[in-house]
Structure 1
Amino acid sequence: LLPLGRLILEGRGAIAAWDLHALLAAVDRARISVRAPFRLFHDLMAEDWIAREVKREFCRGLLACPPEARRLKQRAEALHASIHADPERVLPYPMMWLELIRLDLRRWLPGLQRHAVRALVEDIGEPLRDVLAEFFLRPDRDPQGADAVTQGTLDLVRHHAEELGPDDVRSLLRKAIKRGSAIVRQAAYRVGAERFGSVFARPALRDNARVIRDWANKLLMRDTVKPGRKANLRRRSSPSQDE
């Protein structure tokens, strides 16, 4: 997808954040695969032929950050006004541009916000702690969007735990468990169990969400095989000296 995407983007002249929104919307609507827009997103963020500021404008617009989101909205309104003034002007524009006037990519693919949060740090170079402070448990009228954004911050916590230090990691995870949705709580327990051992997930056995309790039960059962039983299993599987 990346070579074709580059051809389309560069064919329109100077690449802007709006163009990235339209391209990803087009890939999603093409129904190539569920993961196709997400793979293309990561490929685009890794490319140096797209300016860092364009990537930043795109990600922050996707995350509904002012003033980036306002500029995207103004771009849509200007496009709509030009088409209304002269219907023939619709012809040069890709259909995805016209659809994005009515529905922005943030509502279209809410899960993409998770990847945008991580890209701000890992591809664009914004300071880790600043991004966490801005987006961790950020409220949103759209529950899916809110969960996706906080999952993105938990991805950052997981991948940059050494930089944050164990105390800050524990603090962030506990806040997510205390205040987050079931999706966020389970994600936090996963990161904690991976970082600090399965004992971190023990409180999940009392979580209100059954899916979390079931997950925690399986995790803890897997990690609590008694040493004596392991030794017996090894002895039984070893060949006897008489054989």
Structure 2
Amino acid sequence: MFLPPAGAEDVLDDLSAVRPSEPVREEIQTGAPIEDFTVAQQSISSKDPGSYEYRIGPMDVIEVEVFQAEELSRAARVNTQGFVSLPLIGGVKVAGLTTAEAEREIEKVLGEKYLQDPHVTVFIKEYESQKITVEGWVKNPGVFPLKGKTTFLQAIANAKGMDRLADFSEVAIFRTVNGKTTGYILSYTKVRSGQQADPVLQSGDIIVVNRSGSKAGWELFTKTLTSFVGWTVLF
């Protein structure tokens, strides 16, 4: 049974969603209000694609290098509270920061008491805090870490591509923010040809690829999901 993602930080505001051809509108309301699940029916304004920066999260492993102070350099895992433990200075909160921001924060702490004009470099060694899921008719479905800016097409490529039986015209992306789940339908074919924007994914996003010609199966899937949220479905 498929469950929607537990949460995500931002709305999927760079995804241009497509209304499927000859849609039949079906509204189902179970549990949560119907407004808790909506299907995008028009283009959504895009963020600057170049503005995306990976932000460190709990369970990531970062490599901290302090220039000319090898004894202060180390690889460490970010704990569940978002802190990384470093020699001499102890815990420093780095969750939610980019690597550049983490460098400045660690330099600030070191410079306050221990070093004069410290220079710190931070690398992400293991990406564990941010993941997406690709399910359905792809060659290698699964859960994949976000290692930086990842688009819809890159996620499909990470799953070894679309299965030959997949529906290339209707692929769903689900995102949950503050308990509200939003689904977007887009065309893999149009995104690949440049007719639609290739949306940047967020942690917790779920991509579901349906089988070609399997409307009954798709409807069963959506009805199953309504056991957890109320929503509007477009077919």
TM-score (norm. length: structure 1): 0.26
TM-score (norm. length: structure 2): 0.26
- If each structure's helix is expressed as a fraction of its own residues, which one has the higher value? 1
Tell which has more relative contact order, 1 or 2 (C-alpha 8 A, sep 6+). Answer: 2
Which structure is larger by alpha-carbon Rg, 1 or 2? Answer: 1
